A and B are shown apart, each in its own frame.
Chain A
């Protein structure tokens, strides 16, 4: 166990663990800022929604929900925020509040749906065809495809855990652990093992990571 594997809390000070990139912290701060401005009446809720919706999307999709259900869960998460905004005392906590709420809703929806719908390669082909853009270099597209294929070889728990921690700057390990049926102390090591498996899978496919 390295010190990087201490469990961050959702409300504590920022623990700049290995998953906490500068860009994510900036996003958390932007969310806090947008929340303050919305609460003070200076701004509509729009900037906050624009900043956080993509993150919530990925957090929810980690639970294997199909597009329609994932849309619903993101919507209800925002609706819950509007109803409960008064209960959020610390604007810095708004991003954490949103991601935790989204994950709880996604977990429930997944349990209700009882079947997880994996995004299959067919979907990927469509997305790749539609999503090619000038800002993507050929090298990057290639790397994305290899990573996607590598992730697809991992078990469901690894896939879910990696997607959650990739998008959640301060993951609530206790809650993730209970979602995935794991001990809190094993999240860090499991994450490491999942990343190792991914490296191996990508390498065997001729990629370099």
Chain B
């Protein structure tokens, strides 16, 4: 190979030095572990969910994406702090291997869909897409409440929307199962 000069022992030492350098100079933010624990605690307790109700399932002509028809699903929940809405636009994708980066995809093919979602009121956080077929996916929810899954296989699924832990802690929103 191209003249790598370090020995394994040298490399091991240098990597250990790098590890301690990053640990010191770019440590996890304060409170990250606590945030995670709070999130998991809420995720663990079933009655800490707000279960959303499907209020409409309309088809619309897809815009510029794909030739198929997109579906728009609307879920709502009544919360202590007012109503919450999750809107999903599910657009069928062209066939082809459903490769969403390394380890993504799966069987792929013509059954893949794209999901554009909006949570109202918007709050930064994360959304977990669980599929009966396994291979869950997560996406980041922007401060405006936008999220997207660029390509997921069709099938039964449900979403859990969690706000990032902040002063106004709120419980996760869970959709009932729906067909993609």
Contact = CB atoms under 8 A, between A and B. Distances in A.
B123 to A, nearest CB: 12
Interface residues of A, number: 69
Contacts of B164: 71-72, 75
B156 interface: no
Contacts of A195: 4, 6, 10-11, 14-15
A163 B18 CA distance: 8
B58 interface: no
Given A166-B15, A195-B11, A67 B29 contact: yes
A47 B1 CA distance: 43
Which residue, B9, B102, B125, has most C-beta atoms of chain A within 10 A? B102
24 contacts: A18-B12, A21-B12, A45-B40, A49-B37, A58-B19, A72-B140, A72-B164, A76-B126, A77-B138, A79-B162, A80-B138, A82-B44, A83-B136, A84-B134, A104-B103, A109-B140, A144-B25, A147-B17, A148-B21, A192-B1, A193-B4, A195-B6, A195-B11, A196-B6
Which 4 pairs across A and B sit closest by C-beta, in order of nearness?
A192-B4, A76-B138, A57-B28, A18-B8
Interface of A: 1-2, 4, 18-19, 21, 45-46, 49-50, 53-54, 57-58, 61, 67-69, 71-80, 82-84, 87, 100, 104-105, 107-109, 111-112, 119, 124, 127-128, 131, 136, 140, 143-144, 147-148, 151, 162-163, 165-167, 175, 178-179, 189, 191-193, 195-196, 198-199, 209
